[in-house]
Structure 1
Amino acid sequence: MSPALALLLLCQAAFYTTVTSVKVCGRPTVTDGIDDSTLRRVYEVGEEVTLNCEQGYLPSRTPAPRITCTATGAWTQSNLECSPKMCQIPRPLQPFANGRTEAPFKSVLNYTCDDGYVLVGTNESRCLHDGTWSHPPPLCKAVNCPLPKPPRDGRIAHDKPVTGSTTKYGQAWTYECNPPKAPSYERGFCMADGTVTEPPVCRDVSCSVPASIPNGFIRFAVMRPHGYKETVEYVCNEHYILEGQNEIRCQNTGNWSSKPVCRAPCAVGIKRGRIFYNGKKIWIGDLKPNRVLHGEHVAFYCLNKTDKCGYPVASTCNDGNLPIPECFEGESLCVF
């Protein structure tokens, strides 16, 4: 090798060593919310960078921290954290927000209306960098329906007064026919799609002779078929309790509404001991007649064997059956 070539190789090696020995810092790693729009890819040792929160975030410390590129190629610590600004959730919506009253920056509220209501306004709102919403909450306006048509040979009775030529979703009415006819169905509605129930057909309806009920009877009624809306009244025998409506009605289907039931009284099935009944503590022998009406409560005194004293356990008469508590063993040893 010639001396000139050897010198050239040595110079190249020295230059390479000099260049590669200088360390630099790469782009600083930042957490969410820190503004990285002005950060470069490479920094020299000793250079400083001031970190700031981007728009819509609040810094955890002030003044804004500075980080420095060190000789090791690493940045000093900043300990800066940026938290998003919060938007107040509109008060009418808070019951749907699982207890939350605020939403962070960039959150989105999506609005929908229930069936039968039309959304007036925008269906979306975003939490902006200044803590406000991009749009106010919309309104949900009830669907309008045209006024219903009455049945032939009949009329309509609205649940609420109606003005104008429309009615609103959810409003209802009753179809009525000229006596003695009955409508094929009685109720109509303004529906979610903006339509109304078609008018029913008025037809002749008759209910069969009303049936009797056990332990009861029909009061002042002629035993004959009855027309639509006619009623009969049931009464229970003495000491029986009527459960259900005392009147039944001939319905537009030609069937009677549900008949009531007469529930039987109970006898207190113990021979010796005391009970608490009708606000009084009495011996069973003094309960005359031995009868408790359906639905009434009786307390039996059970024995606490440890303290040799009694405690009350309640039981209820249910259609002739009054259960005796399993703990009851007769008269206790204590005076109550």
Structure 2
Amino acid sequence: MSFLGYTTLLLCWVYCTAERACNEPPPRRVKEVPTERWDKPPYPHGTQVTYQCRPGYIKIGRILFECTDGAWKQHLPLSECRNKPCGHPGDIEFGSFELTSGSEFVFGARVEYRCNDGYQMLSQRNYRECQADGWSNDIPHCEVAKCSPVQAPENGRIIMTGAFELGREYSFGQVVNFECNAKYRLVGSKEIICSSNGRWNSDVPQCQ
């Protein structure tokens, strides 16, 4: 083989086995980003990049990428950023909660609260979300359902069945009984019950 042929083969071998540079910046990932700004490619073979977690995530181990023959590859062992835990969201009195987004109490999770039967939520928001700095909002508050005060029917009166005060609101489950004066007949239900929705289950009766 001629000298020119050997030279051509040598140049081809050098070119083909040369370690290529990376022509793209290091990858930006969902949970982690490079610790420095990398926006001036190309980057030589062997360049290393360390990563930090985005807000809401915590780093497990050291996350390192290296330019290897034109491509960014992560060093072993594979480390990652995991969703930051928020801890228990807090129980609600006279109610309960359900995890409606996610499977753990970590960044991105959402819990929704509901009141027990006979109770109404006073808070504007019935949910809490696990954010980068912890749970959002305060724990909601449930209060027993209340029914409006009751007036005695004309020619009749209210029979108190407990320590209730006339003119005051009644709570869920409380019962008010009625009776008519002498020579009057009760038309309607002789008792009404404060329902779980804060309304009386029946109208006040009449005495005729």
2:8 maps to none
Structure 1 alignment gaps of length 5 or more: 1-16, 204-336
CA RMSD of aligned residues (A): 3.7
1:57 maps to 57
Corresponding residue to 1:105 among 104, 107, 111: 107
Corresponding residue to 1:127 among 126, 130, 144: 130
Corresponding residue to 1:162 among 157, 161, 164: 164
How far did 1:59 drift? 1.9
Using the alignment, how far apart are the partners of 1:85 and 1:117 within structure 2? 33
Using the alignment, how far apart are the partners of 1:37 and 1:119 within structure 2? 45
1:84 maps to 83
Q: 1:35-50 maps to which residues of 2 (within 5 A)?
A: 35=33, 38=36, 40=38, 42-45=41-44, 46-50=46-50
AA partner of residue 54 (structure 2): E
Task: Map Cα deviations across residues 142-199 of structure 1 (whole Å, 9 max, x no partner).
Answer: 4544320112332223443224732134232122234673342122234535678532
TM-score, normalised on structure 2?
0.65
How far did 1:84 drift? 0.7
Change (3 A) 1:36 1:172: farther
How far did 1:22 drift? 5.8
Structure 2 alignment gaps of length 5 or more: 1-14
AA partner of residue 126 (structure 1): E
SS at match of 1:86: coil
How far did 1:121 drift? 5.4
Change (3 A) 1:116 1:197: farther
Higher relative contact order (CA 8 A, sep 6+): 2
Using the alignment, how far apart are the partners of 2:202 and 2:108 within structure 1? 45
Contact 2:155–2:180 (Cα < 8 Å) also in 1: yes
**Max Rg structure:** 1
SS at match of 2:169: strand
Using the alignment, how far apart are the partners of 2:118 and 2:26 within structure 1? 52
How far did 1:105 drift? 0.8
1:69 aligns with 2:57: no
Change (3 A) 1:155 1:168: same
1:199 maps to 204
Change (3 A) 1:168 1:85: farther
How far did 1:137 drift? 0.6
SS at match of 1:26: coil
